[in-house]
Amino acid sequence: MSRHIGTYSDAVAIPAGALQVVLFGTPGLRPDGALPKDFAEEAGQASDNVCAALRCAGAELSDIVQVRSWLTDRDDIDACVKVRKDVISHRPAYVLAVVPQLIGPGLRLEIEGTAVVTYSAAEQHE
């Protein structure tokens, strides 16, 4: 059904023995803690923050199998989708929701997701 709505998958299978990396509530704060004034910049920074968190856990953006984006303003949907399409070239399972408020003051976006890193049999025995 996803093909009727956007560029994402309806379901993703996770193979046994794979490393799962779970991201929760990743905002678009800059490394110094400042929040960008422009939403597109906030969305881009959130994507950068997701990439950094994945790298720390031994994963890459291409390992993402599921993404949830939480927005506080439906007027930001197009900008959020554009940034996602610019950053993610494969088809993870995806949902975007508009909520009344996020926990951090002024935050307009948080990203959650799951990445899966699979290993060959040789890599698992090293």
We report the CATH number of the domain holding residue 54 as 3.30.1330.40
List the chain residues with pLDDT less than 70. Answer: 1-10, 120-126
Query: pLDDT value at position 8?
Result: 58
Would 117 be classed as within a structural domain?
yes
Would 13 be classed as within a structural domain?
no
Q: Is the pTM of this model over 0.85?
A: no
Distance, first Cα to last Cα, the chain: 41
Query: pLDDT value at position 15?
Result: 76
> CB-based burial of residue 51 (10 Å sphere; 0-12 exposed, 13-18 middle, 19+ buried)?
middle
Query: pLDDT value at position 104?
Result: 87
Would 18 be classed as within a structural domain?
no
Query: pLDDT value at position 53?
Result: 93
Q: What angle do CA 11, 16, 19 make, to 5 degrees?
A: 90
Would 113 be classed as within a structural domain?
yes
Q: Is 3 helix (H, G, I), strand (E, B) or coil?
A: helix
Domain extent, residue 85, equals 24-124
Determine the Cα–Cα distance for residues 91 and 89; give it in Å rounded to an integer: 7
Query: pLDDT value at position 119?
Result: 73
Would 75 be classed as within a structural domain?
yes
Total domain count, the chain: 1
Would 92 be classed as within a structural domain?
yes
Query: pLDDT value at position 70?
Result: 97
E strand residue ranges, the chain: 19-27, 64-71, 93-98, 109-117
Would 107 be classed as within a structural domain?
yes
Would 84 be classed as within a structural domain?
yes
Determine the Cα–Cα distance for residues 80 and 116; give it in Å rounded to an integer: 23
